[in-house]
Amino acid sequence: MIHDLKVFFTLIAFNIKVTLAYRASLVISLILNILWVVSFIIFIEVIFQNVVTLGGVSKGETLLIMAFYYLFTNISDIFYRDSFEQFGEKMRTGYIDMWLTKPASSRMLMFMSNMRFDYITAIAVTVALFAYAFRTLNSTPDIHLLLFGIGISLIAHVIFFSVLSMLATLNFWLEKTDTLNMVAWQLTQVGRYPRAIYTSWARIVFTYVLPLAILANLPAEVALKIATTESIIVFFAITITLYIVSFLFWKKGLTRYSSAG
């Protein structure tokens, strides 16, 4: 575990150096993220000009869910999105062979080797979105609950990482799963809306089967002090279960791999 942490921080240091070599991308990333977030805020403002609540959720609460959603996507974009998107092609060309021989967690090396720290500018935009959400709520955030919500948001990456890992592992049996990866990224967008707006069956699916609705909703509920103890326990149970299943599936997939060709 300690060795894997050292490798992880070495990967971070290396990717930061790569990012600093292309500083113009930081500026471009900041501009694009500002435009993206502002456009969605306008979308929310337009919606709430016509309705009082969205599935019983106020505008401020919806904005807070959106803030946690963007925080979640910021972290995934920085640490592992590119690696997952490139995994299928790298596996088919034998590029991953060198990672399998390294004395460290193979999944960490495969899916966190290509970090994008030019996306770190999005964090500043997301912080501004948090401030706007609490201003709309007309309340001062409880720092302890907000930090707890952020902690839940970070742990939620284990869920998404596990889901993506299982989809990537299918490459060991299927010729291409790029479409599945694209679907997974698109499905995360269900998490930026209040889960109360989904029908009963969709809410069950996106909470317990493919738990993408809780990635931003639960952290927001924690920050607003409306999350139940049961929902937090279920969250941790789902997290642990998905991680174990994805790890075992990954190990099974590796037994199928015999290099390129």
Flag whether 261 is in a domain. no
Q: 20-76 pLDDT, tens per residue?
A: 776 666 677 778 777 877 887 888 888 888 888 887 888 889 999 999 999 999 999
* Confidence check: pLDDT of 240 > 90: yes
Q: How many domains does the chain have?
A: 1
CA dist., res. 132 & res. 230, Å (int): 30
Q: In the prediction, which pLDDT does 145 show?
A: 94
Instruction: Enumerate long-range contacts of 201-204, CB under 8 Å, 24 or more apart.
Output: none
* Confidence check: pLDDT of 188 > 80: no
Q: In the prediction, which pLDDT does 209 show?
A: 77
Radius of gyration of the chain from its Cα atoms, rounded to whole angstroms: 19
Flag whether 259 is in a domain. no
* Confidence check: pLDDT of 261 > 60: no
Q: In the prediction, which pLDDT does 53 show?
A: 84
In this predicted model, which residue has the larger pLDDT, 175 or 46?
46
Per-residue pLDDT band at 211 (split at 50, 70, 90): confident
CA dist., res. 181 & res. 29, Å (int): 22
Q: Tell me the residue range of the domain where 204 lies.
A: 2-254
CA dist., res. 167 & res. 210, Å (int): 12
Q: In the prediction, which pLDDT does 177 show?
A: 60
Residues with Cβ within 8 Å of 191's Cβ and at least 6 positions away in sequence, in order, are 65, 69, 72, 206, 212, 213, 214, 215, 216, 217
- Whole-model pTM: value is 0.85
Flag whether 67 is in a domain. yes
